[in-house]
Amino acid sequence: MRVPNSVVLPVGTHADCCQEEEVEEKKHNIMAKITSMLAERKSNLAHFIDNLEGSEEPEFYMDQWERLKEMESCTLTILNLVAVNCTDHHDIKKLEAAILEHVKNEELFPEVVRVLPPVYRQVEAAIVDVAQSEEVADHGMMDLQYLLSKLSQCEHLANLGRELLQDVLRYLHRIGLVVWYEEIKDLESTVFLQPTFLITVFKLLVRYCLVQQLESIS
């Protein structure tokens, strides 16, 4: 309550100990109690402030009045309670997803700004240099281990671990700078440093007349 514009996500554990209808009932009761507590707090603060303002010598209580007014301005946003079965990994992942979804909500957190770590930019620049070097063929295909080795040879990246480098690769894959299909077993060890080449290949393979050509062959 001391942080202005706080956001609170109530979490109910041991959902596995209740029937489904009991979980819903308990969620309703908990949210009702939270609402009641907030209303009572607001009423009490208003009462204390009124007493100080109505005193015979209010100037002697300015410090208390300012502190109470500050507390009064500390509002809370209460999100819907999430019930979790702590013995179920799927439920834990659902809670994690719910938290991430709320954190990304700019209406709840308007001051949140995403800042890319400097090392991401450094790795990106190093990969661009590798992709533009003469040793890389036009298709831009490169073995993952070889690429990681090349990046580790850069003086400012020498201390980066493999996991961090792979995290950066995933980010670069998402923004389209490289293509790395790590979820496909046959391609997980290959990184495409020239995504435009892949697009050209796909265009050649999947043409508008492909169906007709296949039918003519059969």
Please report where in the chains the tokens 């949140």 appear, as a residue.
112
DSSP 55-97: SS-GGGGHHHHHHHHHHHH--EEEPPPEE--TT-HHHHHHHHH
Provide the residue type at 171 as one letter: Y
Q: What is the mean pLDDT of the chain?
A: 84
pLDDT reading at 107 higher than 90 = no
Domains of the chain: 6-103 (no CATH), 124-210 (1.10.10)
Task: Name residues whose C-beta falls within 8 Å of residue 213's C-beta, 6 or more positions apart in sequence.
Answer: 207
What is the predicted pLDDT for the residue at 212?
A: 65
- Return the half-sphere exposure (C-beta side, CA atoms, 13 A cut-off) of residue 150: 19
Percent of the chain with pLDDT over 70: 89
The tokens describing 19, both together, are: 């029937």
Examine the pLDDT at 74 and tell me if it is beyond 80: no
Cut 0.85: pTM above it: no
Q: What is the pLDDT of residue 210?
A: 55
How confident is the model over 62-67, as a mean pLDDT?
A: 84
**pLDDT-based confidence at 3, cuts 50/70/90?**
low
